[in-house]
Chains A and B, each alone.
Chain A
Amino acid sequence: MDFEPSDEPVALKILIAGGFGVGKTTLVGAISEIRPLRTEEVLSDRGIGIDDTDGVEGKTTTTVAMDFGRITIREGLVVYLFGTPGQERFWFMWDELSYGALGAVVLADTRRLTDCFPSIDYFEQRGTPFIVAVNCFDDADQYDIEEVRSALDLDPDVPVLMCDVRRRASAKTVLITLVEHSLRVLTASQA
């Protein structure tokens, strides 16, 4: 089969980050086909000495389950959505997940805004393009976008928007906002 380089199959990776329970899985489910994935977690010190690792010294991991989302744009062009694990013990997976990522959506909950600080710090340091999407929970006080931006001390070029991740149209807007932002970052880096 002869393909022009432009027809090479392309898969893009988008990360969905934010604190535990902020709606990452809901967002992925609202807009994409969910697929299960088994991956490995580094065994804690507690497991060493209990798990018999004699002869398999290389085995320092145990299996954990995660989901990812898949959106087929057309044949040969697929967007994957990976939720970054919320708990601290899964931090080791962030580097792997964010390698080569197109960008990240940081989901925020105004009742617990500090929960998304680690994600914002991480993507700022790595230079991964990201946006902040404030998931509007029914019982949360409503803030305007500038209040959230200033509370998070974001660069002026980082897009911030309100969303309701249960709604497909809203989830779509979130992803489009991110890809448009990534496109601006890419264009600026080439200028």
Chain B
Amino acid sequence: MTRWMDEEAGPVVRPYALIGGRTRSSGDALDLVAMVTATGGAASGGFVPGPEQERILTLVTTATSVADVASELDLPLGVVRVLLGDLQDHGLISIGRASASERILKEVINGLRAL
């Protein structure tokens, strides 16, 4: 499914219609840089992902941050959090937030120097 977009007119489907008018979900607290990865498993509870959720699942076959998912789909962050919350609740994605260790920070310093 391609985007439901018309560049002139804007989105045909209002963002909040994509998520059934909800603004709350288990995805609320997702940090901008939490990493999202598809589990590759089957959906629990007979859940069928919507078109945007299918796009997310394709995108996150390799770990992708919440900010990058929202940027890539060109959807508002709040909408993306709800979509991700559903996918997480039904076991289709896992969300990780690795914290910075001394080793990682040293790697970042060296990486920045090499830029």
Stretch at the interface among B45-53, B62-70, B84-92: B62-70
Q: Which one of A31-39, A84-92, A146-154, A155-163 is at the B interface?
A: A31-39
A172 CB to nearest B CB, Å: 6
Contacting residue for A37 out of B21, B71, B99, B111, CB 8 A: B71
Report A-chain residues with C-beta under 8 Å of the C-beta of B108.
Answer: 12, 73, 77, 79, 179
State whether A61 touches B78 (Cβ < 8 A): yes
Given A59-B23, A82-B32, A179-B105, also A39-B111 (CB < 8 A) = no
Instruction: Please name all residues of chain B whose beta carbon is closer than 8 Å to the beta carbon of A48 when the two chains form the complex.
Output: none
Q: Does residue B13 face the partner (Cβ distance < 8 Å to A)?
A: no
Q: Does B5 contact A (CB under 8 A)?
A: no
Q: Indicate the size class of the contact surface on chain A.
A: 35 or more
Chain A contacts for B100, CB-based, 8 A: 10, 12, 102, 182, 186
Cα distance A180–B71 in the bound complex, in angstroms: 29
Distance, CA A73 to CA B108, complexed state (A): 7
Q: Is the CB of A8 within 8 A of B77?
A: no
Interface centre among B15, B68, B100, B109 (most CB of A within 10 A): B100
* Nearest neighbor of B105 in chain A, beta-carbon distance: A183
Q: Is B56 an interface residue (CB 8 A)?
A: no
Cα–Cα distance between A24 and B6 once the two chains are bound (Å): 32
**Min CB–CB distance A140 → chain B (angstroms):** 27
Contact assessment for A180 and B109 in the assembled complex, using a CB-CB cutoff below 8 Å = yes
Known A-B contacts A59-B16, A80-B65, A100-B97; A175 and B107 likewise in contact (beta carbons under 8 Å):
no
Q: How far is the CA of A40 from the CA of B70 in the complex (A)?
A: 12
Using a CB-CB cutoff of 8 Å, which residues 32-88 of chain A contact chain B? 35-40, 55-56, 58-59, 61, 63, 68, 70-71, 73-74, 76-80, 82
For A68, the chain B residues whose CB sits under 8 A away are: 32, 67, 71
- Contact present for B31 and A99 (CB under 8 Å): yes
Name which residue of chain B comes closest to A14, CB basis: B108
Contact of A40 among B76, B99, B102, B113 (CB under 8 A): B76
A176 x B35 contact (CB < 8 A)? no
Tell me, yes or no, whether B8 is within 8 Å of chain A by CB.
Answer: no
Whole-angstrom distance between the alpha carbons of A183 and B20 in the complex? 44
Q: Are A35 and B113 in contact (CB under 8 A)?
A: no
B-side contacts of A13, CB under 8 Å: 31-33
A125 at the interface (CB under 8 A from B): no
B7 within 8 A of A: no
By a CB distance below 8 angstroms, the chain B residues around A10 are: 35, 98, 100, 104
- Asked if A97 is at the interface (CB within 8 A of a chain B CB), the reply is yes
Interface string of B2-17 (1 = CB under 8 A from A): 0000000000000110
Contact A39 B78 (CB under 8 A): yes
Q: Does A121 contact B (CB under 8 A)?
A: no
- List B residues at the A interface (Cβ < 8 Å): 15-16, 21-24, 31-35, 37, 63, 65, 67-68, 70-71, 74-78, 96-100, 102-109, 111-113, 115
